């Protein structure tokens, strides 16, 4: 049987059954795109709490409307499950699981490894497997391929399968930017690399059904490296403006004014902006995947590591500025009441992954401050891998704001009433230039 032609025909006719593993910020929107394009999609997740939500047509991610989920559920185009035995019934499996760092800032591939093992235990001949998780070059072929060459499924135990003939393997990096008003999943070109020519053709054909443009590359390693380059580029440039922010501040120069002037140049300059630190799953993490892998080749990635040091330092710099601001009015950080505005890693999303606000909370608390937060996207903070804070958001009332010695704006949500905050706060430390951008600035607003 020609498995390539069989799967190719299924994709063209939209008869291919697609299983997406990981119903988070990457997997869920991708599942919806395929389901809305008339594919039958099964969403897999180890979090049992997500399954009834999805099957009832409800969303747990604010920028993804429940109506989208409800529509595809009612049309029987999407179902969620935590029964991984159903993997065997899918034609295509797309892996969208986390790839964090461990406490030593080294790659934690346990999610990919466990997922690959689970697929291998429920594998069948003729399937296409695609990894989308951000990782170092070589992951697809070094970790996933061996488990598919010799699957752990009892029905295939002892068989040696040939990639590109008996099954197909590809890598296509996710490029999600949660709540981006201009670019949704289907609008962002998709880089695709295959283990063989047949693998590449099938993966490209699949994404061609739902994505505006696919960009084929010569190998899975090239596709994996592409994702790292994209985020290392951002990490290094953000580190540059973060360092210049500190230098220019000492010189009495406003970095935001400098950036606004520099970006009037119509070529050769792209604006990046400083902040309280890096957040999100990609930029704070992906560069260290390459740094770790480069050691295997006796290479030290000094440029990447320096950028990481600068960006990691930013929450500490914000706290140093807070100490200076409090000292200017005769107060110490110890026992001061501090309110952090915004806990998500960027504005207008309910995403806490690697948020610098969490680190700010930790540092302020370690210095003896009494710390609270306010964020319309998080009435209370969920339990996270690194943080178990068990605290609730403070309402931004006149009485509450006046009760704090210092308000620290960490995430500049549009939902914040900046004029109200300014009028009712004692001191403000603005890490995003939000008050000036909103035409609000006076003697009690300081920058960090």
Q: Which residues pair with 428 in a beta bridge?
A: 407, 445
3-state secondary structure 420-444: HHHHHCCCEEECCCHHHHCCCCCCC
- State the architecture of 3-218 in CATH terms: 3-Layer(aba) Sandwich (3.40)
From CA 222, how far away is CA 233, in angstroms rounded? 16
Q: State the greatest distance between any 2 C-alpha atoms of the chain, in Å, as a whole number.
A: 80
Average pLDDT for 290-304: 93
Residue 390 has a pLDDT of 82
Lowest mean pLDDT among 123-127, 174-178, 404-408: 174-178
Answer yes or no: is pLDDT of 33 > 90: yes
Domain residue limits, the chain: 3-218, 233-447
Cβ 112 vs Cβ 99: under 8 Å: yes
Residue 439 has a pLDDT of 80
Query: What b/e readout covers 180-208, taking b as 16+ CB neighbours within 10 angstroms?
Result: eeeebbbebebbbbbbbebbbbbbbbbbe
Provide the mean pLDDT of the chain: 95
Lowest mean pLDDT among 21-25, 199-203, 334-338, 351-355: 351-355
pLDDT band at 384 (very low <50, low <70, confident <90, very high): confident
From CA 173, how far away is CA 96, in angstroms rounded? 9
Q: DSSP string of 333-374?
A: STT-EEEEE--SSSTT----TT-HHHHHHHHHHHTT-EEEEE
CATH fold for domain 233-447:
Rossmann fold (3.40.50)
Catalytic residue selected from 23, 282, 283, 340: 282
Task: Report residue 297: phi and psi, to 5°.
Answer: -105, 20
Residue 440 has a pLDDT of 82
What DSSP character marks residue 167? B
Average pLDDT for 413-422: 96
Q: 3-class DSSP state for residue 395? A: coil
CA 431 vs CA 256, 352, 399, 413: distances in Å: 11, 17, 24, 13
Instruction: Tally the C-alpha atoms within 13 A of residue 280's C-alpha that lie toward its C-beta.
Output: 22
Residue 297 has a pLDDT of 94
Cβ 272 vs Cβ 234: under 8 Å: yes
Residue 280 has a pLDDT of 83
Domains 3-218 and 233-447 share a fold: yes
Tokens encoding 54: 């999805």
Name the residue among 325, 326, 340, 332 with its Cα closest to residue 432. Answer: 340
Return the sign of the alpha-carbon dihedral for residues 208, 211, 215, 218.
Answer: negative
Residue 264 has a pLDDT of 98
From CA 308, how far away is CA 232, in angstroms rounded? 10
Query: How many angstroms separate the first and last alpha carbons of the chain?
Result: 64
Tell me: the pLDDT tens digits for 164-175? 999 999 999 999
Residue 402 has a pLDDT of 97
Answer yes or no: is pLDDT of 441 > 80: no
Percent of the chain with pLDDT over 90: 88
Name the residue among 90, 98, 105, 124 with its Cα closest to residue 20. Answer: 90
Q: 3-class DSSP state for residue 94? A: strand
Cβ 385 vs Cβ 358: under 8 Å: no
Tell me: the pLDDT tens digits for 214-240? 999 999 999 999 999 999 999 999 999
What DSSP character marks residue 413? -
Catalytic status, residue 282 = yes
Tell me: the pLDDT tens digits for 40-98? 999 999 999 999 999 999 999 988 999 999 999 999 999 999 999 999 999 999 999 99
């Amino acid at each position: 049987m020609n498995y390539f032609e069989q799967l190719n025909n299924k994709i063209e006719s939209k008869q291919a059954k697609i299983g997406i593993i990981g119903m988070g910020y990457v997997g869920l929107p991708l599942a919806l795109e395929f389901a809305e394009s008339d594919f039958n999609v099964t969403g897999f997740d180890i979090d049992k709490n997500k399954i009834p939500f999805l099957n009832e047509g409800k969303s747990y991610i604010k920028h993804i409307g429940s109506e989208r989920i409800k529509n595809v559920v009612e049309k029987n185009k999407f179902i969620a499950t935590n029964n991984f035995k159903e993997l065997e019934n899918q034609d295509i499996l797309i892996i969208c699981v986390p790839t964090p760092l461990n406490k030593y800032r080294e790659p934690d591939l346990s999610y990919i490894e466990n997922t690959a093992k689970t697929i291998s235990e429920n594998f069948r001949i003729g399937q296409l497997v695609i990894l989308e998780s951000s990782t170092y070059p070589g992951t697809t072929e070094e970790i996933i391929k061996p488990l598919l060459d010799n699957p752990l499924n009892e029905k295939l135990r002892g068989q040696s399968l040939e990639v590109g003939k008996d099954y197909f393997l590809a890598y296509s990096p996710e490029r999600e930017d949660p709540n981006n008003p201009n670019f949704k999943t289907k609008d962002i070109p998709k880089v695709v690399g295959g283990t063989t020519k047949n693998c590449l053709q099938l993966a490209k054909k699949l994404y061609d059904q739902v994505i505006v443009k696919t960009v084929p590359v010569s190998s899975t390693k090239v596709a994996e490296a592409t994702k790292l380059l994209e985020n290392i580029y951002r990490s290094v440039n953000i580190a540059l403006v973060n360092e210049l922010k500190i230098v220019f501040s000492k010189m009495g120069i406003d970095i935001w004014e400098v950036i606004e002037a520099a970006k009037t140049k119509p070529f050769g300059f792209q604006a990046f902006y400083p902040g309280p630190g890096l957040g999100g799953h990609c930029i704070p993490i992906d560069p260290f995947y390459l740094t770790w892998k480069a050691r295997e080749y006796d290479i030290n990635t000094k440029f990447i590591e320096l950028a990481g040091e600068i960006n990691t330092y930013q929450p500490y710099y914000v706290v140093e500025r807070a100490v200076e601001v409090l000292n200017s009015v005769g107060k110490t950080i110890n026992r001061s009441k501090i309110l952090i505005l915004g806990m998500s890693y960027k504005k207008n999303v309910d995403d806490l992954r690697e948020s610098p606000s969490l680190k700010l909370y930790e540092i302020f608390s370690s210095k003896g401050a009494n710390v609270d937060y306010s964020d319309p996207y998080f009435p209370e903070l969920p339990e996270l891998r690194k943080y178990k804070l068990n605290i609730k958001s403070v309402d931004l009332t006149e009485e509450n704001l006046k009760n704090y010695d210092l308000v620290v704006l960490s995430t500049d949500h549009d939902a914040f009433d900046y004029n109200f905050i300014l009028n009712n706060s004692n001191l403000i430390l603005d890490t995003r230039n939000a008050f000036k951008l909103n035409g609000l600035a006076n003697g009690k607003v300081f920058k960090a």
